A and B are shown apart, each in its own frame.
Chain A
Amino acid sequence: MKWILQFFTSSIGQKIIMSLTGLFLILFLTVHLIGNISLLFQDGGASFNAYTEFMGHNPVIQTVSKGNFLFIFLHAIQGILLYFKNKSAKGSKYAVSPKNNVSWASKNMALLGTLILAFILMHLGHFWLRFKFFSDMPSIAYDGVEILNAYESVSIIFSNPIWVICYLIGLVALSFHLWHGFASAFQTLGINHKKYTPILKGLGYGYATLIPLGFAIIPLYMYFTN
């Protein structure tokens, strides 16, 4: 089993961890956005609450969500490790920063990642933590069955302009992070082809724009319709 350890401690192995966890999180974002779109339904939060109820009690989803936390954790830890290793491999900096056409995002993944991590912690504090561990959540009854009123707590948060701005900042960071991360994950896995890579890159840029935009609509919409 020594080879596994060797692989995941080699430079390429460590990058593979970043790539695979990153791809999983990209997938997660898609699912997460699809679910959250129900916040925009004009039904007083009924669909959203049904959705959170389902997510909160489905054993498969619960398992995946544990994995999700693990992957976020791995992605973050590995990212931090890479940052320090790479910083030391670079040694000192140049007196002049170069004017070449390398994307800003690609050189600032660690900074963006840190912002996103902070955003995730805030986000968890707002919702997940409270759903799980605090009993101060409002509840609502549908057809006699009482469930948590997640919609209510979301709309409380998004009525505060400061939180809305924080969410928007987090999403901008996410967008930049994905701008580089999406195609980069495939490159690390060795997927690079004259024909398909430009398509993949295009997809990545589309994804990096649309997904954060989709997320951003929710707080904005809720803030302005409240």
Chain B
Amino acid sequence: MKLTLKIWREGGVYANGKLETYQVEASEHMSFLEMLDVLNQQLIEEKKDPVAFDHDCREGICGSCSMVIDGRPHGPQTGTTTCQLHMRHYKNGDTIVVEPYRAKAFPVIKDLVVDRSAFDRVIQSGGYISVNTGQAPDGNAIPIEGDTAAKSFDAATCIGCGACVAACPNGSAMLFTSAKVSHLGLLPQGKVEHERRSQKMVAQMDKEGFGMCSNVGACEAECPKEISLENIARMNRSYIGSVFSSE
């Protein structure tokens, strides 16, 4: 199939960025990133600068891919990362617009590559259970109710790709932060630090310049791991609770 790509180029000769138009010949079996590989090979053959984009595992789990396809992070398929999006969902003659994630806390590095280190700093502010190696009791010492463990797992499947921030009209990181707060807070071993964790992580999130949640739900709609808004409510609860009950 023949496709027209409009890709955001930024940095180097493109300075502050603009959409460039390219033509590419793709096969329906390719993944979206393989289609971009084809384009890049083409550009290299023409001795031009290839399009920079983050990618690594290409099986939907590392969270590296960070592009917005026709206005949607990770493209039109729900519950799917860009690397798992296949070209059979497009047809000959389509025009596809590819842009980097847009949010002030995720500055563009080059073309489609953005800096998501703010997420690391949010985790560093409290997204862990304080246990040193060797201090652990037996794994079966604390039974965890099956549904609770499953809920915690659902939140823990977050791949830290940042699609939630990219999708949010406010550039808010509430879904990401709350997924971590929920993952750990739902488990008995994480409950100990639950409220302190919410406070610290929210404070760091605010400091990073993410926007505020207005419950639009675009994050949930675009999350490739389909993480639920329930987590945001849970974090709000623990945050309010921690502020008013702590001494």
Chain A directly contacts chain B within the complex, with at least one CB pair under 8 Å = yes
Binding site for B on A (CB under 8 A): 3, 7, 10-16, 82, 85-86, 88-103, 106-107, 109, 180, 183-184, 187-192, 194
Ordered by A's residue number, 13 sampled pairs between the chains whose C-beta atoms are within 8 Å are A7-B243, A11-B174, A11-B212, A12-B202, A15-B236, A16-B240, A86-B211, A86-B214, A88-B211, A89-B170, A94-B102, A98-B72, A98-B218
Q: Which residues of the other chain, B, contact A86 by a CB distance below 8 angstroms?
A: 169-172, 211-212, 214
Given A10-B202, A91-B103, A100-B72: A192 and B234 interface contact (C-beta under 8 Å): yes
Compute how far the CA of A103 lies from the CA of B174 in the bound complex, rounded to whole angstroms.
19
Q: Is the CB of A90 within 8 A of B72?
A: no
Compute how far the CA of A194 lies from the CA of B218 in the bound complex, rounded to whole angstroms.
19
Q: Which of B60-84 contact A (CB under 8 A)?
A: 68, 70-72, 76
Q: Which of B160-184 contact A (CB under 8 A)?
A: 167-172, 174
Q: Which of B68, B213, B216, B234 contacts A11 (CB 8 A)?
A: B213
Compute how far the CA of A95 lies from the CA of B243 in the bound complex, rounded to whole angstroms.
40
B85 to chain A, nearest CB (A): 15
Q: Which of A82, A88, A92, A96 contacts B214 (CB 8 A)?
A: A82
Count how many chain B residues have C-beta atoms less than 8 Å from C-beta atoms of the other chain: 49
Binding site for A on B (CB under 8 A): 6, 8, 19, 68, 70-72, 76, 97, 99, 102-105, 167-172, 174, 202-203, 205-206, 209-218, 221-222, 229-230, 232-240, 243
Given A86-B172, A189-B240: A97 and B71 interface contact (C-beta under 8 Å): yes
Q: Which of B6, B19, B102, B206 contacts A93 (CB 8 A)?
A: B102
Q: Which residues of the other chain, B, contact A99 by a CB distance below 8 angstroms?
A: 70-72, 76
A162 to chain B, nearest CB (A): 33
Q: Which residues of the other chain, B, contact A189 by a CB distance below 8 angstroms?
A: 236-237, 240
